[in-house]
Amino acid sequence: MGWAMSAFNEYEATKRLKELAEKPIDLSKEGALTPKRLEQMVASNLNLKLFYGTERVTEKVMDALCDLAKEAKVIDKMHAMQNGEIINKIEGYESEERSVLHTAMRDFFDRRVEAEAAKKASTEAYAELEKLKMFLDTIDKQNFTDIIQVGIGGSELGPKAIYLGLEAFSRPNRRAHFVSNVDPDDAANVLNRVDLGKTLVVIVSKSGSTLETRTNEELVRKRFLDVGLSPQNHIIAVTGKGSPMDDPKKYRASFYMWDFVGGRYSVTSMVGCVTLAFAIGMEKLLEFLKGAHAMDKVALNEDPYQNLPLLSALLGIWNHNFLGLPTTAVIPYSQAMSRFPAHLQQCDMESNGKRIDKQGKLLDHWTGPIIWGEPGTNGQHSFYQLIHQGTIPVPVEFVGFCKSQRGIDNEYEGTTSQEKLLSNLFAQSIGLATGKKSDNPNKEFPGNRPTRILMAKQCDPYSIGAILALYEHKVAFQGFVWNINSFDQEGVQLGKVLANKIISQFQKMRKGEEFEKDFPLGAVYLNHLKEF
Ligand SMILES: O=P(O)(O)OC[C@H]1O[C@](O)(CO)[C@@H](O)[C@@H]1O
């Protein structure tokens, strides 16, 4: 691997942005943040509004960012992705060589992508959805009340984030639970709170070989047997065609996904749909898929101001690559969206946590930011001290909803809870921009800390589908600009290989056999275990 000037650093727009970043706007200066500026810097799609006047951008910066998108041909690359071209690859090196077609999992409402690969994928996805409808019709005739999804990474994070986001829309007496960690207490806690006789279990693993999921499946199967129930009547599978889990006789039903849908992009495939449909019903699941599909079409819009995923991606690149801010906080002012930042950690960091470009060259610039976040207002009582007065400015992507989901509220001291929630959201964004001068350095707020606010009317199936897809495409657009492969995850392999070495040592240690020489580093820890 040799060093060479990356495509990103060769763009004319990059050179202009570097110059502009030498003297960026200071939002804390008197008169910098005005109502006029806030009014002008609003973009909207699908009844979502993105307020970006509290970002440290000027018209010149925005123009250069739009030119960067053009130079990087990001819309052509988005078309290529949605058409099913083989974009998951590293030229000149062994790599996955796959298409990336999570958009096909929801492309059956209106415009269908005509390209053969995409059309075939959406046809197959629709067939799985039809199969799911029929399966749930049989389930509805029995008294199942709970579903446990067993899976990890993309087989849990996204499905759980969206389930919690839409739990308010659940059918009566329908609950979902999630088991992911190989920590046996994770499964035990869930198994202890359901009536197994009324519980379905969906084992989700695209590869069908993930150790945590295989281990948890066996633990769950044993639990059903221990209470005299047949696992066959309760356990269903979601896996890749031909995976080790593709064994329909082992399961009550099997649903499929394909290698062209990455785990972290698989919420709208059967990976998320089985549990979501069980909990909220097919009608609301289809609303969720419609929202995602609508955003897929928005993502093809050439004009960044009419393309919220692209606009978000460009603002993030400005903060990260040009203002030099290493992390990004995603803070939903919605308790229902409490696990959405965790999903985005995988979606963004497993996609763009890369150090080489698509030609295998080491990069001379930053790629994916560190993503983190918790709901507001809770974060205000936790990490906002650092966000306001710390030494590392943190760009914040706020997500807010005008209305609560359940409509249960109370007027206290002249405002409702929802109004108090929104007041805090808007105040934080303004305060982080303007700051507050003080003669007492301990009470001074530097301000000039970039944020933006994505607003929707309500955290409902359609809006959440649109927001999910917005972030999927934001990640993809950033990868397109950086010329990296956002769709494989070689970085997770080394840990698995070393863990398997130590697992083998555990096996020998249990049998009283010599194990130190196999992996001396691991042996040190194992030998210390005996001393506890
Ligand atoms: O669905 P599977 O194949 O069990 O994989 C689970 C997760 O493990 C990874 O392969 C590696 O973390 C993720 O990309 C994936 O979402």
Which domains does the chain possess? Answer: 12-72+301-405+416-483 (3.40.50.10490), 132-288 (3.40.50.10490), 492-530 (no CATH)
pLDDT at 95 exceeding the cut of 80: yes
pLDDT in tens, 15-26: 999 999 999 999
pLDDT in tens, 444-503: 999 999 999 999 999 999 999 999 999 999 999 999 999 999 999 999 999 999 999 999
> Mean pLDDT for the chain?
97
DSSP symbol at 105 = G
Per-residue confidence (pLDDT) for residue 3, from 0 to 100: 58
Residue 83, ligand 1, Cβ within 6 A = no
CB 217 within 8 Å of CB 150: yes
Burial 191-209 (b: 16+ CB within 10 A, else e): beebebeebbbbbbbbebe
Burial 410-439 (b: 16+ CB within 10 A, else e): eeeeeeeebeebbebbbebbbbbbbbeeee
Active site residue 114: no
Active site residue 381: yes
Mean pLDDT of 273-294: 98
The whole-angstrom separation of Cα 394 and Cα 380 is 14
Mean pLDDT of 177-198: 97
**Res. 2 pLDDT band, cuts 50 70 90:** low
pLDDT at 1 exceeding the cut of 60: no
Which of 381, 511, 517, 530 does the annotation list as catalytic?
A: 381
Residue 264, ligand 1, Cβ within 6 A = yes
pLDDT at 522 exceeding the cut of 80: yes
Mutation test residue for ligand 1: of 204, 210, 270, 349, the one with most atoms within 8 Å of CB: 210
CB 71 within 8 Å of CB 13: yes
Mean pLDDT of 130-158: 97
pLDDT at 414 exceeding the cut of 80: yes
CB 310 within 8 Å of CB 476: no
pLDDT at 196 exceeding the cut of 60: yes
CB 144 within 8 Å of CB 200: yes
Distance 41 CA to ligand 1 centre (A): 38
DSSP three-state, residue 505: helix
pLDDT at 111 exceeding the cut of 90: no
Distance 153 CA to ligand 1 centre (A): 5
Burial 273-289 (b: 16+ CB within 10 A, else e): bbbbbbbbbbebbbbbb
pLDDT at 35 exceeding the cut of 60: yes
**Res. 133 pLDDT band, cuts 50 70 90:** very high
Which of 55, 128, 217, 350 does the annotation list as catalytic?
A: 350
Distance 495 CA to ligand 1 centre (A): 13
Residue 206, ligand 1, Cβ within 6 A = yes
Looking at beta carbons, which pairs linking 64-67 to residues 24 or more positions away fall under 8 Å? 64/13, 64/16, 64/17, 64/20, 65/13, 65/17, 65/304, 65/314, 65/315, 65/317, 65/318, 66/304, 66/314, 67/12, 67/13, 67/16
**Res. 110 pLDDT band, cuts 50 70 90:** confident
Measured from the Cα of 240, ligand 1's closest atom is 3
The whole-angstrom separation of Cα 148 and Cα 235 is 9
β-partners of residue 146 are 175, 199
